[in-house]
């Protein structure tokens, strides 16, 4: 079974750390991931998304229509699976493999406790433009700044004015932020390297995100994104993260593979305006 959904991106997107003032004409990979979760949920309404793994093949232009083609691989009484291909015309932008299930009662249950990061009110407000969202960072004034050097971890409190009632939309909202601070987390562990250098002297990009939802995915008030970079080298960074409710309940775990590379001095990319380096 193949179902196709057409979506127009929601206008210009702003990337943290871009040297042209934050404006680049591309769609967040994590937004594509969230939209793929919704598309798969519509195709398999009797199941709920348990995990999703996305590979971002090429950048998506934010002025062109996106097509989400859902291929259902299996639809059983308990488990289902699908692959969502995100297309712009004939160009594949992302491929997302999704596992869905029907929630069952726990046989055993345990989860990692939330790190001790203090209250949202004690964290520092940071402006990462998105209508209806507040962001507060724990112990950091600016995650882009190359001279802010510490352990490669970032804890971020998020608050949304409205939390969706639909389960698939809540999961899509959780997925959207998983791509925003992971590369900054990796760079934080290296003095003189920061995301303010991205798309100028450094070529960076989110290449893959995988996440698992721990039911129930529901919250009120603030949620905490805990990021930890456990490895960087050979031009790639690896970050793992967890999402907790304000009450300390773990609702999502995720990983991100990111690219951090230098532009070759002879590269033609250096002659292209920053805003056009897709």
Judge whether residue 139 has pLDDT over 60. Answer: yes
Query: What is the reported pLDDT for 131?
Result: 86
Query: What is the reported pLDDT for 233?
Result: 86
Residues 24-36 have a mean pLDDT of: 89
The secondary structure of 165-188 as a DSSP string is: SSHHHHHHHHHHGGGTSHHHHHHH
Find out if CATH 2.60.40.10 is the number for domain 2-103+123-276.
no
Range of weakest confidence among 76-90, 130-144, 262-276: 262-276
Residues 213-225 have a mean pLDDT of: 96
> Percent of the chain having pLDDT more than 90?
59
Average pLDDT in the chain: 86
Residue holding tokens 């698939």? Answer: 168
Query: What is the reported pLDDT for 268?
Result: 47
Mutual angle of helices 167-176 and 29-43, in 10-degree steps? 160
Q: How many CB atoms lie within 10 A of CB 234?
A: 8
Query: What is the reported pLDDT for 43?
Result: 96
Residues 10-22 have a mean pLDDT of: 38
Query: What is the reported pLDDT for 176?
Result: 95
CA distances to 201, 207, 253, 264 from 267, rounded to whole Å, are 12, 21, 37, 5
Query: What distance in Å separates the CA atoms of residue 60 and residue 91, rounded to the nearest whole number?
Result: 9
Query: What is the reported pLDDT for 270?
Result: 44
CB distance 255 to 240 below 8 Å: yes
Phi and psi angles of residue 276, each rounded to the nearest 5 degrees, phi first: -100, 0
Lay out the sheet containing 222-233: strands in order across: 2-7, 66-75, 79-88, 91-101, 48-56, 202-213, 250-262, 236-245, 222-233, 153-160, 133-137, 124-125
Higher pLDDT, 184 or 173: 173
Judge whether residue 137 has pLDDT over 60. Answer: yes
Query: What is the reported pLDDT for 146?
Result: 73
Rg (the chain; Cα; Å): 19
Cα angle, residue 48 at apex, residues 163 and 101 outer, rounded to 5°: 155
> Percent of the chain having pLDDT more than 70?
86
Judge whether residue 235 has pLDDT over 80. Answer: yes
Whole-model pTM: value is 0.87
> Which residues partner with 147 through β-bridges?
none
Confidence of residue 9 (pLDDT cuts 50, 70, 90): low
């Amino acid at each position: 079974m193949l179902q196709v959904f057409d979506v127009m991106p929601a206008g210009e997107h702003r990337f943290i750390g871009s040297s042209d003032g934050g404006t680049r004409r591309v769609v967040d990979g994590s937004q594509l991931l969230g939209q793929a979760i919704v598309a798969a949920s519509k195709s398999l309404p009797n199941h709920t998304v348990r995990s999703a793994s996305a590979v971002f093949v090429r950048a998506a232009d934010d002025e062109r229509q996106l097509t989400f083609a859902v291929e259902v691989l299996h639809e059983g009484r308990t488990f289902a699976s699908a692959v969502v291909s995100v297309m712009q015309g004939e160009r594949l932008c992302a491929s997302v493999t999704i596992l869905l299930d029907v929630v069952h009662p726990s046989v055993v249950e345990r989860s990692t406790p939330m790190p001790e990061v203090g209250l949202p009110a004690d964290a520092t407000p940071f402006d990462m433009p998105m209508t209806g969202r507040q962001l507060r960072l724990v112990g950091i004034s600016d995650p882009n700044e190359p001279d802010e050097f510490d352990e490669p971890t970032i804890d971020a409190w998020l608050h949304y004015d409205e939390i969706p009632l639909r389960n698939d939309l809540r999961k899509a909202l959780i997925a959207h932020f998983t791509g925003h601070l992971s590369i900054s987390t990796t760079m934080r562990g290296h003095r003189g390297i920061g995301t303010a250098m991205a798309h100028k002297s450094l070529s960076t990009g989110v290449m893959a995100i995988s996440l698992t939802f721990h039911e129930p995915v529901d919250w009120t008030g603030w949620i905490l994104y805990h990021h930890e970079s456990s490895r960087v080298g050979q031009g790639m960074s690896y970050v793992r993260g967890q999402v907790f409710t304000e009450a300390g309940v773990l609702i999502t775990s995720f990983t991100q593979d990111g690219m951090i590379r230098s532009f070759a001095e002879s590269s033609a990319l250096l002659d292209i305006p920053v805003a056009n380096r897709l």
